[in-house]
Amino acid sequence: YNVCQHRAHELLQGTGNRKAITCPYHAWTYELDGRLRKARGADKVPGFDPNTICLTPIRLEQLCGFLFVNLDPEAAPLEALFSDVAEEILGYAPEIETYKLARRHSEDVQANWKVAVENYNECYHCPVVHPTFSRGVIRPETSRITPSAMSVRHYACGHPSERTPYHLDERAPRAHEYGAWYLWPSFSVQVYPGGVVNTYRWIPEDVTHTVVHREWYFPNEELTAEQSAIIELDRATTFAEDLPVMHAVQRGLNSRGYRPGPLMVNPSGVATAESENSVYEIQKLVLSALEG
């Protein structure tokens, strides 16, 4: 879609802002809505009609300020896929649409994207793998992870302020609660106790390699020392602890000795810190996508 309609040269690289889009090959220029503004020498070509030339459109929708691109013009709208998600997120961070991107980390994961997504969406491993997260951020025994259609909702109670390993903003709505929303297949928004907003994007590079883009959002332009400390704490604990786990699972999947065991699925349909209902539902989504 990032391609000139003249002779297929790529149009833009990187990120930034432009008042118009100019092809670096023959300098055809497009308006930001995709219409052709100018083609050099077009006045000398009989029958050339710029009104018939336009960049191929894509669908663009927003959810809580996050922009979603869809290349399928027939796909269902976001609201139909993720009903009530925006309302729930706004309950934790009412001003999220005005928040600023404060920090971005891109992490290499030597594992299939589904390994990374499944790991993110269950807390069965939290008491074992994440001591800081479990003893200071959430109380695993209160964890409730609820799959529904194309999303997975996470909820847990936080710890008292004196046990939280970062400065907790008591003014935030639901300041002592944790919420996260995984949107199939590759995006998640999470709000930590104190109203700290963090997102995940999983980008498959190949069968055994995934890049995870993690972003942090705050109301202010410049990070405070406390906010920087929250980001570094999470990166040095929760995410750093997940990396070797995901790598080990990927190696294990390649072992001839592995015979898949049963998932810990309870009949309630809600995953706790001792179950994996969410993993089961994600695997069903994968199978459905493969079957078309």
> Quick one: pLDDT at residue 221?
81
E strand intervals along the chain: 21-22, 29-30, 36-38, 59-63, 66-70, 100-109, 144-148, 151-157, 177-183, 187-192, 196-206, 209-218
- Structure-token match 């994996």, residue found: 276
State the angle between helix axes of 240-253 and 113-120 in degrees (0 to 180), rounded to the nearest 10.
130
Which residues lie closer than 8 Å to 232 by C-beta, 6 or more apart? none
Residue 164 Rama label (left phi>0; alpha psi -120 to 50; beta): beta
Which residues lie below 8 Å from residue 61, measured CB to CB, with a gap of 6+?
Answer: 67, 68, 70, 77, 78
Return the percentage of the chain with pLDDT > 90, whole number: 91
CA distance 220 to 226: 13
State pTM to two decimals.
0.91
Q: What is the pLDDT of residues 42-84, one digit of tens each?
A: 999 999 999 999 999 999 999 999 999 999 988 889 999 998 9
- pLDDT over 70 percentage in the chain: 100
Residue 268 has pLDDT above 90, yes or no: no
* Confidence band of 226 (pLDDT split at 50, 70, 90): very high
CA distance 202 to 248: 18
Tokens of 290: 């493969």
| Residue 27 confidence (pLDDT) | 98
Residue-wise pLDDT tens digits, 137-188 = 999 999 999 998 899 999 999 999 999 999 999 999 999 999 999 999 999 9
Q: Which domains does the chain have, with CATH numbers?
A: 1-57 (2.102.10.10), 78-291 (3.90.380.10)
